[in-house]
Amino acid sequence: MFIIGITGGIGSGKSTAASFFSERGVLVLDADAISRKVTGPGGRSIEPIRELLGERAVDSHGALNRKYTAELVFSNRTLLDKLSSVIHCEVLREIAEEIEKEEKKGTKLLVLDVPIPVKKGFLDICDQIWVISADEEVRLDRLMQRGMSKEDARRRMDMQMTRDEYEALGDIVVPNNGDKEELNAILEKHVKDELGKRGIRI
């Protein structure tokens, strides 16, 4: 099985790139979606989060209190790193379980959509890393269109790796300063070049 890891900073268009594959019938494991699952009511990460951040970090439904937690960690890098570690541990466990299932099925291609490119459980299991990259102003504009303030968007961007750090990890760097059609055209070319020679068609 060939595994492509898609990553990139917030607002880069990483999820749009992942949807290119899912729309063509490729299984995409979305780390953000899995994260929501493990931090949902009764999720695997809830008790460790309660221990780390206290009772207020868990709402009355037994799920992560996202508003309170965001206010707490996005101004505290150390706390953010600790929270990320707790959640990532369970997300990566779920991903590993899904990969094992797909290998048994004989799946030829699988895509991982992961915002934070950790080494163990992502970089070390992917055959190729595709980094989706966009200019800072483009990313800011996209985030503000989602309803974020400019200050909040910039703060979240600043908490992540730099664009250069992301691009240094990529086997393929996909520029994404335009619209979805432009992005899809670039992805089509890479699919033809990289997957075609491996006998994988989507």
CATH of residue 29: 3.40.50.300
Task: Name the nearest CA neighbour of 195 among 115, 81, 109, 112.
Answer: 109
Residue 74: what pLDDT? 83
Specify whether the CB–CB gap between 23 and 188 falls below 8 A: no
Instruction: With respect to residue 113, please indicate whether it lies within any of the assigned structural domains.
Output: yes
Domain that holds residue 146: 2-195
Instruction: With respect to residue 52, please indicate whether it lies within any of the assigned structural domains.
Output: yes
Instruction: With respect to residue 62, please indicate whether it lies within any of the assigned structural domains.
Output: yes
Instruction: With respect to residue 202, please indicate whether it lies within any of the assigned structural domains.
Output: no
Number of structural domains (the chain) is 1
Instruction: With respect to residue 157, please indicate whether it lies within any of the assigned structural domains.
Output: yes
pLDDT, tens digit (0-9, with 9 covering 90-100), for 97-108:
999 999 999 999
Specify whether the CB–CB gap between 34 and 91 falls below 8 A: yes
Instruction: With respect to residue 201, please indicate whether it lies within any of the assigned structural domains.
Output: no
> Which stretches of the chain score pLDDT less than 70?
none
The pTM score is: 0.86
Instruction: With respect to residue 18, please indicate whether it lies within any of the assigned structural domains.
Output: yes
Specify whether the CB–CB gap between 38 and 98 falls below 8 A: no
Instruction: With respect to residue 200, please indicate whether it lies within any of the assigned structural domains.
Output: no
